[in-house]
Amino acid sequence: MECFLYCCDNTHDPIPLPDGEDVIAGRKPQFKIKNPKCPRNQVQLTANYAEKEVIVKQLGKIPSSIGIEELNKGETKLLGPGGKICIRRQEYPHFVYFKIIPTIKKSPSKHTYTTEGNKNNIEEIKTSNLTDKQISKKRKIEEGDGNDDSYDHKTTKKAKMRSDTSKDCNTKDEQDVKSTCKDAKDMDSPLKNLQSGSPCTTSTWEEIKQELLIYTRKGVEGRSKIAGFDMDGTIITTKSGKVFPTDAADWKIALPEIPGRLKKLWSDGYKIVFFTNQNGIAKKKVSVPDFKKKVENILEPLNVPIQVLVSPGTGHYRKPCTGMWIHLCTKLNQGIDISKEDSFYIGDAAGRPAGWAPGKKKDFSCSDRAFAANIGIKFQTPEEFFLEKKPATFNMPVFDPKSLDTNGPIYTPSTATLVAKEQEVVVMVGYPASGKSMFCEDHMVPHGYVRVNRDTLGSWQKCVTACRNALAKGKSVVVDNTNPDKESRKRFIECARAAKVPVRCFLMDVSREHAQHNNTVRETLNTDKDYKHVGTMVFNIYRSHYVEPSCDEGFSEILKIKFIPKFKEKSTREFYNQFL
């Protein structure tokens, strides 16, 4: 047996991991890592051939990552065959490969090696590109007895392993593994390797770009009808009676009707899928291994093929965004088109007010109902679906992006002039993400206005100085800050008075809910690493300080500006029009 660490970016040759010997990964020549922020001694890797696993120990102060979990200094984790580790945070991904003789199972369409990994975890190594002749050659390369069902591996000596490493790494067999490693960041679903309509033969966990976890239980198959369910509060509840579980074992099936109803759905031709948000994983309140075990334990008494999609943090996979549903449709249903008319979703986050039933509290959100609305499928609460209760009253989110009026004038009163002919100061007022900067760049800057912005300059004092300097040069100025109160606006009114020019106020006609929607879209689609997160607290501060602008402050005119979104791509428009 041999073990290698492959670079998923293919920037260096495979690194041999001899049995029982410590190999240090980091900013070293063989790893081709030149980033000075990556320690030389970052991670210690020790292969255990007997258990077919690699012990990973974090040495450096900056964490490495295994999946979506970060490994802090002194912590250890185990990697089985095919396990992926990023040497520094989510950078420098590598792939563990044990060169062993697996059990070969043939199917009419392709060959699949199935090997037993650490603690009975099953790893499928795809060999769809290998011919029968290549597979036969593989058997000869590995020392086996030639039996199709099982092979006994003969242990090689470490000295022979080291001497043969260079030669073996250049074989066609190893190049196939490099190809597999290159795709490790976004592993294909096991369902993709099955013929359409064929059940999944093993229970499997997958991870998609550290943003989505997928559990496919044995027997799952693609179907045109989807019975979707939330998990917490719908399928399970806490045994302790507390709102949040105390540990991974604090759960029970929420209603006795659930197992039988799920079995009936399966027999009626539905594919059963759980969609669950688990932000506790990203916040490290729950470990990934513990949560995976919890999911497996939950599905055991239900005794029906179920697929579980887990959003462990924020982003477009998190409900009510439709990322998990889109991934199901495009990657996890064996190419079978899903009928929205025949599909439905059940969840407890339904926007019901306090007292919707005797003694019931207000729903914590409306995300499940909004999720179904975004997809365009029917929705019911657990009480309506499992207990056949009458529908309760509910409230949808305050802001509905589909109702946004994008027609008509961009400002009111429409009789006003947007761009003045003479020099002036314009003070913008509005929530973060209300569209102030986009408006300034589109309608003011092209006409010669100097845009003054605190995010760019760093302080209001620098903004005042920039305003004075621009006015001294005869330029008009637009102050692109939130300016919620009289005090923040007074500074620039005084600049205008000192320069003896008029000052107007442009108030963004955007509600808090609308601005927060814009902010969610911006943060979800953002690709700028330097972007600074805008949290709920910022919106709270603006609202608490807000005083509606008045001409009594010194403004010659106040215009209300309508937010009209712009989209370069159809997919962005579709995302914006969802409840978020």
**Where residue 110 falls among pLDDT bands split at 50, 70, 90?**
very low
Asked if 371 contacts 322 with a C-beta cutoff of 8 angstroms, the reply is yes
Lowest mean pLDDT among 171-175, 470-474, 484-488: 171-175
Whether pLDDT at 24 is above 60: yes
CATH architecture, domain 2-99: Sandwich (2.60)
Say yes or no: do domains 2-99 and 204-387 share a fold. no
Q: What is the pLDDT of residues 544-558, one digit of tens each?
A: 999 999 999 999 999
Q: Is the model's pLDDT at 305 over the cut of 90?
A: yes
Q: Judging by DSSP bridges, how do beta strands 558-561 and 411-412 pair with one another?
A: antiparallel
| Average pLDDT taken over every residue of the chain | 85
Q: Is the pLDDT of residue 456 over 70?
A: yes
pLDDT at 188 over 80: no
Q: What is the DSSP letter of 13?
A: P
Q: Nearest 5°: phi and psi at 487?
A: -60, -45
What pLDDT sits at residue 179?
Answer: 44
Which position has the higher pLDDT, 210 or 129?
210
Mean pLDDT score, 4-24: 89
pLDDT digit string (tens) for 41-50? 999 999 999 8
Residue corresponding to tokens 């029968």: 132
Share of the chain above pLDDT 70, in %: 83
Over residues 342-349, mean pLDDT: 98
Higher pLDDT, 533 or 238: 238
214-246 tens-digit pLDDT: 999 999 999 999 999 999 999 999 999 998 898
Q: What are the helix (H) ranges across 376-440? A: 382-386, 436-439
Span 264-270, average pLDDT: 97
- Chain segment 72-99, per-residue pLDDT in tens: 999 988 888 878 899 998 889 888 888 7
For 152-161, 218-227, 315-324, 333-342, which range has the lowest pLDDT when averaged over its residues? 152-161
pLDDT band at 406 (very low <50, low <70, confident <90, very high): confident
Task: Note the pLDDT of residue 500.
Answer: 97
Cα gap 216→84, rounded to integer Å: 20
| CA–CA dist 513, 476 (Å, integer) | 32
Q: In the structure, what pLDDT confidence band is assigned to residue 102 with cuts at 50, 70 and 90?
A: low
Q: How far apart (Å, rounded) are the C-alpha atoms in residues 71 and 58?
A: 6
Give me the sign of the Cα torsion angle 113, 115, 120, 121.
negative
Q: Average pLDDT of 12-18?
A: 92
Query: What pLDDT score was predicted for residue 197?
Result: 57
The residue with greater pLDDT, 91 or 130, is: 91
What residue segments make up the domains of the chain, in order of their start? 2-99, 204-387, 411-577
C-alpha to C-alpha distance for 255 and 445, rounded to whole angstroms: 60
Residue 263 tokens, joined: 């079995």
pLDDT of 178 > 60? The answer is no
Cis ω on the peptide bond leading into residue 320 (within 30° of 0)?
Answer: yes
Hey, what CATH topology would domain 411-577 get? Rossmann fold (3.40.50)
pLDDT classification of 66: cutoffs 50, 70, 90: confident
Specify the pLDDT at position 55: 93
Cα angle vertex 280, ends 279, 282, to 5°? 70
pTM, whole model, 2 decimals? 0.67
What residue has token string 């006409």?
Answer: 447
- Class for the domain spanning 204-387: alpha beta
Listed residue (348, 384, 378, 383) closest to 366, CA to CA: 348
